Amino acid sequence: MKALLLVGGQGTRLRPLTIHAPKSIVPIFNRPFLHYQLDLIKQVPEIDEVILSLNYQPRRIEEVFGDGREAGIRLRYVVEPTPLGTAGAVRYAARGVDDTIVVFNGDVLTQVDLRSLIDFHRSRRARATIVLTPVDNPTAYGLVETDTDSNILRFLEKPALDEITCNTINAGIYVLEPATFDRIPEHVAWSIERSFFPSFIERGETFLASIYRDYWIDIGTPEKYMQVHRDIMDGRYSMPPFNGAQGLVWISPDARVDASARLEGPLFVDERCVVKAGARLGPYTVLGRSCQVEEDANVAGAIVWPESRIGREAHLVDTIVGRSGDIGRNACLRGGVFGDNTHIAEYSRL
């Protein structure tokens, strides 16, 4: 059995963080995001290969993951010749696959039970099954309506208040039968949500929904990217190194933190970081590998990617800084998103 990850998007909502790196290798703490999806897939031993559907900076992903040996599962890379849309990408990447396939959008973090999902799909002999998740504000999304027997009835594209009949949205996880892919035109951009899925309803085929009510997030915006770190540190999503613990101050054994530095958890300091005298690391701070925080700097609620430097007496609050950033002395940054190699001059206010 195969899994297919749609990781070809340009990550435009996460820019400038994705100018030099695809969204799938954006770090969550100290691991590329794609690792967390692979961890979930590996819970189903029947899945013996993961196909990565690529388009944007494909070599960057292959440089990080190689053949998948270190990740513990075989990887195969398929690069779209041109952007083919979500359905077109599925058909192109799944050529030669004739067994049930699990498909993931490339920006979804969840702990859905894949084994149960596959068993549910097969027990009903479905042609397609999609995972749905409930949302608090149904007017902001396209909704998916189901009946009491889990059959999908229709799709509602951002309905008005008087049109709302449910609160469930497409969660970006599917179990599909490749025999249906011939209805997707070849070499044409084709939408899985607007064209492929409605075809099952039109043909009266068994098309099922599995509603997942636990943790689910789309990390594709800076706000959601920051939120997922806080959710993990608050114990709402359990993964290493926090593993559900709340308020934890996690410091890599080979980081160097001056005894006079003030630390208030939860926070994360990766390997080879240096935190100097009088610096303060406040709640929800994340320092990537080999970062340096100079004397009397104040960092709180910020995510700082590897190799960056926070200058003396600088203030960094609720901010994301990309790789190799350089924040000058006494600069004050609040609520911004800065890409790789950003240099902020001394005494700047942003």
In a domain, 230, yes or no: no
- The pLDDT value given to residue 278: 96
**Over the range 115-139, which residues count as b (16 or more CB within 10 Å of their CB) and which as e?**
eebbebbeeeebbbbbbbbeeeebe
Q: Average pLDDT, stretch 241-263?
A: 93
Cα–Cα dist 166/261, whole Å: 50
Please indicate, yes or no, whether residues 158 and 84 belong to a single structural domain of this protein: yes
pLDDT digits (tens, 9 = 90+) for 167-199: 888 899 999 999 999 999 988 889 888 889 999
Q: How confident is the model at residue 11 (pLDDT cuts 50, 70, 90)?
A: low
Please indicate, yes or no, whether residues 49 and 177 belong to a single structural domain of this protein: yes
- The pLDDT value given to residue 7: 85
- The pLDDT value given to residue 281: 97
Please indicate, yes or no, whether residues 140 and 272 belong to a single structural domain of this protein: no
Please indicate, yes or no, whether residues 212 and 97 belong to a single structural domain of this protein: yes
Q: What is the DSSP letter of 278?
A: T
Q: Please identify, among 176, 202, 218, the residue that sits at the C-terminal boundary of a domain.
A: 218
Averaged pLDDT score across all residues of the chain: 90
* Whether the predicted pLDDT of 158 surpasses 80: no
CATH number of the CATH domain containing 181? 3.90.550.10
If one compares 234 and 81, the residue with the highest pLDDT of the two is: 234
In a domain, 228, yes or no: no
In a domain, 335, yes or no: yes
- The pLDDT value given to residue 70: 82
Q: How many other CB atoms are there within 10 angstroms of residue 87's CB atom?
A: 23
- The pLDDT value given to residue 164: 79
Domain count, the chain: 2
Q: Please identify, among 200, 218, 236, the residue that sits at the C-terminal boundary of a domain.
A: 218
- The pLDDT value given to residue 131: 95
Q: Average pLDDT, stretch 19-26?
A: 84
In a domain, 240, yes or no: no
Q: Average pLDDT, stretch 243-254?
A: 91
CATH number of the CATH domain containing 262? 2.160.10.10
Please indicate, yes or no, whether residues 88 and 139 belong to a single structural domain of this protein: yes
Q: Average pLDDT, stretch 7-25?
A: 80
In a domain, 241, yes or no: no
Q: How confident is the model at residue 279 (pLDDT cuts 50, 70, 90)?
A: very high
In a domain, 82, yes or no: yes
Q: How confident is the model at residue 25 (pLDDT cuts 50, 70, 90)?
A: confident
- The pLDDT value given to residue 194: 86
Please indicate, yes or no, whether residues 168 and 317 belong to a single structural domain of this protein: no
Please indicate, yes or no, whether residues 197 and 307 belong to a single structural domain of this protein: no
In a domain, 75, yes or no: yes
Please indicate, yes or no, whether residues 320 and 271 belong to a single structural domain of this protein: yes
Please indicate, yes or no, whether residues 204 and 271 belong to a single structural domain of this protein: no
* Whether the predicted pLDDT of 329 surpasses 90: yes
Please indicate, yes or no, whether residues 203 and 320 belong to a single structural domain of this protein: no
pLDDT digits (tens, 9 = 90+) for 103-137: 998 888 998 999 999 999 999 999 999 999 998 87
Q: Please identify, among 170, 201, 218, the residue that sits at the C-terminal boundary of a domain.
A: 218
Cα–Cα dist 89/181, whole Å: 11
- The pLDDT value given to residue 166: 82
- Tell me the three state secondary structure of residue 248: coil
Residue 120 Cα distances to 15, 26, 124, 179, 180, angstroms: 38, 32, 6, 19, 18
In a domain, 33, yes or no: yes
Please indicate, yes or no, whether residues 167 and 56 belong to a single structural domain of this protein: yes
Please indicate, yes or no, whether residues 268 and 208 belong to a single structural domain of this protein: no
Q: Show the domain range for 26.
A: 2-218
**Over the range 154-189, which residues count as b (16 or more CB within 10 Å of their CB) and which as e?**
eebeebeeeeeebebbbbbbbbbbbebbeebeeeee
